[in-house]
Amino acid sequence: MPSMLKSLKLLADPTRLRILLLLERESLSVADLQELLGMGQSRISTQLSQLKIEGLVSDERSGKNNIYRSSMPPELASLAIKAAAEIPEVSKDDTALRHLQRKRQDRARTYFDELAGKFGRDYVPGRSWKGLAEALIKVMASGTVADLGAGEGTLSQLLAQRAEKVIAVDLSPKMVEFGSELAKKHGLNNLEYRLGDLESPPLEDNSLDLAVLSQALHHAAHPDLAVLAAHRALKPGGRLVILDLVQHNFEQARELYADTWLGFGEGELSAMLEKTDFAEIETAVVDRETEPPHFQTLLAVARKKA
């Protein structure tokens, strides 16, 4: 537990307070904070170091960057929000953060709009048929299934051959349009496409028997919120399947594939599921690519507690 007195002293500095308020809303790198605050790297790194020593921020490695998030206790966060009313720059910071969030989402949407109709012909990291087969063998889909971050719906179409109903969710209007036309063409009347994002998918609570995140979670701004949204949508006893990349250092993936996160560690993903109150958690590396940058595919399966 951070010292309240030391924490209050740190929050008395307007720059540190602005940084904390931004990190309370979004996980950010030093480069992100430079863009938002218009300050130099050295100044921001110094402030982050002081906040980290006192336990007010935490960080984790993602490729070449450290991603920082607020770890303020609730009572301190409440005081910080009240103190923000005295700092005129906070309003500008909020606007800049919303712009950054839109830019991130637009970058992902543009990438997938351009990819519509090309899946299967163009290379996508981690899109392993061996990995997909492993997942399908694990769960043998039935009932109502959601394919979250479905793209044009290659996996959705496979699931629709066994499940009573499949809901394919994607944030790209062009992907949804293309997938809907493909489902109609193939006579898959039990496959429905919906426009939405991973953190707030258009799904009713307790409505799914199975939720799938196939090479989608690393595109989420907040992976933990995407897992939580899947948990809410699942019926008690329902299952979640995640296929994603094992954590890697191929930084170019951010530009080439609009990736937000450079994969996940097996322990990290397992902890995320456990924190969201999933049970019967299993993880395994199910594929290793032989060509550089040697992406690996991570499979996680879990069940919502009854």
Position 249 in a domain: yes
245 and 296, same domain (yes or no) = yes
Tokens of 124: 């996508």
At 119 the pLDDT is 56
Position 268 in a domain: yes
166 and 298, same domain (yes or no) = yes
> Range of 63's domain?
4-87
What strands lie across the sheet with 278-288, from one edge to the other?
191-195, 165-170, 144-148, 208-214, 234-245, 296-304, 278-288
Distance between CA atoms of 152 and 221, rounded to whole angstroms? 21
82 and 138, same domain (yes or no) = no
Position 112 in a domain: no
Tens digit of pLDDT at every position of the chain (306 positions): 578 888 888 889 999 999 999 999 999 999 999 989 989 999 999 999 999 999 999 998 887 889 999 999 988 999 999 998 899 999 889 888 988 888 787 777 777 777 777 655 565 676 566 566 656 645 567 899 999 999 888 889 888 888 899 999 999 999 999 999 999 999 999 999 999 999 999 999 999 999 999 999 999 999 999 999 999 999 999 999 999 999 999 999 999 999 999 999 888 899 899 999 999 999 988 888 889 999 999 999 999 999
Position 100 in a domain: no
Helices 41-53 and 14-25, axial angle in degrees (round to 10)? 80
At 137 the pLDDT is 47
> Looking at 87, 115, 141, which one is the last position of a domain?
87
Asked if 147 contacts 127 with a C-beta cutoff of 8 angstroms, the reply is no
144-148 and 165-170: which strand pairing? parallel
Q: What is the pTM of this model?
A: 0.69
66 and 140, same domain (yes or no) = no
Position 107 in a domain: no
Distance between CA atoms of 112 and 91, rounded to whole angstroms? 32
296-304 and 234-245: which strand pairing? antiparallel
Distance between CA atoms of 17 and 11, rounded to whole angstroms? 5
Identify the CATH number of the domain in which residue 236 sits: 3.40.50.150
134 and 80, same domain (yes or no) = no
At 256 the pLDDT is 92
